[in-house]
Amino acid sequence: MEERIMYRTLLLILVLLFTVCLAGCYDLKEVDQRAYVIAMGLDKSERENQLKITYIIANPEVGSLVGGSTDEPPQETITVHSSDFITAKNTANTVVSKQLTYEMLQIMVVSEELASRKDFIRWFYDTTKDREIRRDTYLAISKEDASEYLQNNKPQLETRPHKYFQFMITRGVETGMLPDSTFHRFYEITEQDADLFLAIYTTSKPAKDPPARHEDEYMAGEVNAKGDANKTQFAGAAVFKEGVMIGKLNGQETRIASVLDETTDIKDVLSTIHDPFNKEYRLAVRILKKQNNEVTMNLEKSTPEIRIKVPLVVDVLSDRSMVDYTKDTRKREILRRQIKVDFEREYNGLIAKSQQEFKGCPFPLSLDARKYFLTIKEYKNFDWMKTYPDMDIHVTVNIFFTGFGKQTKVPNIKHMRD
């Protein structure tokens, strides 16, 4: 009995030992032996079926106190040519000493030229194959070549590249100027084949003396920013239909798409509207969305009818015409009407543009439509993407006021200037 137990124990130890020897330590790699790719740029190479791949690799020693401050640059940018970005890791090792890893990849920048090609999606879907690439990585489209873009991008304060992209994008999504364009959303929307995917639009080559517009009606590169800050601009969105870039939305349109989109969160949208009491002035407002949109559809009709009610909470921040809204219900009502009319024009404008220009919806409206179908087959037969341009869609906005600035009282100009 004793012998049997001992025999078994010895055997068990051996088996465990073999298991460990055979299976253990697979893909072990120490953190300090890797080069962390923060941003990857994709361009079409001069050679057919090849990509020009640009990497921004973070230098871990910069910004860490314990390692001792170094004079080394915070990042390293290299460009290589390869047939895909998975094997390019090895190609890059001819220049970079450590094993490249995509584990910290924050952003993939694709040039507008490549994104507009039909075969872009074939390369892009390699992101689902690589084990290291995360689905919360952002997709951005650059106006110029991605290699040029990443080369030019030199943040002054957030010198560590991952911090720069992280802050830039999360803030952009919060203000609504940038779409929430993670890889995951790309796969989701593209595979649903019903709506349009919006990707972040950016450029490092701003236009010379661009025309001045209202606060959010810019595309990246159109903001006339002077000074010695980084030249890179993030604003607006690139529109993808079935995995191909077909157009662009400016900041305002991106914001509207975000407001209409229930799957993203906007937090801090500052905008201006016409002042109802003086056509020359504009009123600053903060728009908050606290409730979900109410979507009603009638898809039985020959022209399907969709009504979207958007409840918006508005905080009026400026008052150039010096009207005391708090004491006057009538004036508040005038203001409400003005905002409503302005917003509804903008919102319906975007829908009209998407129907005519893109022939697809820039926010996932099809999600709301699904519950109107009993079977998947019915839904597929309906063919949302094809039907969308002919639909009768109307957006109405409900405005709730929360405040009129810190101090609500304004002096009477007439009395002051007498």
Partner 1 sequence: MRRKIFKRILKKIKTPTPNPPEVSSHGDIALKKQNIKETLDQNLKIFKYLYTVPDNVDVKIREITIPSLNRNAAILYIASISDVIDIEERILHPLLHHSDGSGKIENIVSAQTLKTAQKIEDIVNEVNGGVTALFVDGDRQCYLMEMQNFQSRSIGMAENEVVLKGPKESFTEKAIINISLVRKLIRDENLVAERTVISKRSNNGLFMLYVKDLVNDELLNEVKSRISKLDLAAVHSISFVEQLIEERKSSLFPTVLYTERPDRASAFLEEGHIVLMLDSSPACLIVPTTFWAHFHNPEEHYLRYPYGNFTRLLRFLALFIALFISPLYVAIANYHSGMIPPDLLLAIAATREKVPFPAIIEIIMMEFAFELIREAGLRVPSPIGPTIGIVGALILGQAAVQANIISPLVIIIVALGGLTSFAINDVNLNYTVRLMKFIFIFAAGILGVYGLTASFILCLFYMVSIKSFGVPYLAPYTPTYRSSEDIVTRKRIGSERFRPGYLKPKDSIKKGEV
Binding site for partner 1 (CB under 8 A): 3, 6-7, 10, 20, 23-25, 27-32, 34, 36, 38, 58, 60-61, 63-64, 66-67, 101, 103-104, 106, 132, 134, 160, 162-163, 166
The answer to whether residues 3 and 73 touch, using CB atoms and an 8 Å cutoff, is no
Nearer to partner 1, 2 or 300 (CB): 2
Minimum distance between the CB of residue 109 and partner 1, rounded to whole angstroms? 17
Choice between 16 and 413, CB closer to partner 1: 16
Q: What are phi and psi of 270, to 5 degrees?
A: -105, 130
Minimum CB distance to partner 1 smaller for 3 or for 46: 3
- Whole-angstrom CA distances from 152 to 52, 157, 224, 232, 399 are 16, 15, 18, 8, 43
Q: Quickly tell me which residue has 């000074």 as its tokens.
A: 227
Q: For residue 269, what are its two tokens?
A: 């949208």
Neighbours of 359 (CB within 10 A): 15
Residue 28 or 416 with smaller CB distance to partner 1: 28
* DSSP element (H, E) containing 306: strand 305-316
Token pair 């020897």 is found at 21
**Distance in Å, CB of 307 to partner 1, minimum:** 43
At its nearest, how many Å lie between partner 1 and the CB of residue 104?
A: 5
For residue 106, the minimal CB distance to partner 1 (Å) is 7
Comparison of 166 and 398: residue with beta carbon closer to partner 1: 166
Residue whose token pair is 């409900």: 398
- The answer to whether residues 284 and 318 touch, using CB atoms and an 8 Å cutoff, is yes
3-state secondary structure of 53: strand
3-state DSSP percent of the chain in helix, strand and coil, to 5: 35, 25, 40
Query: Whole-number minimum distance, CB 12 to partner 1, in Å?
Result: 12
Q: How far is the CB of 60 from partner 1 (least distance, A)?
A: 4
Comparing CB distances to partner 1, the nearer of 61 and 383 is 61
Q: Which is nearer to partner 1, 20 or 352 (CB)?
A: 20
- Least distance in Å: CB of 77 to partner 1? 17
Q: Which residues of 261-290 are buried (b: 16+ CB within 10 A; e: fewer)?
A: beebebeebebbbebbbeeeebbbbebbbe
- The residue among 119 and 136 lying less far from partner 1, judged by its C-beta, is 136
State how far the Cα of 276 lies from the Cα of 82, in Å rounded to an integer.
58
The whole-angstrom separation of Cα 263 and Cα 120 is: 26
Distance in Å, CB of 18 to partner 1, minimum: 13
Return the number of the residue (68 or 411) whose C-beta is nearest partner 1: 68
* Residue 165 dihedral angles phi and psi, to the nearest 5°: -65, -40
- Work out how close the CB of 2 gets to partner 1 at its nearest, in angstroms, rounded to a whole number: 9
CA distance 217 to 180: 18
Q: Quick one: tokens of 165?
A: 């992209």
Name residue, tokens 């004793």.
2
- Please compute Rg for the chain using Cα positions: 27
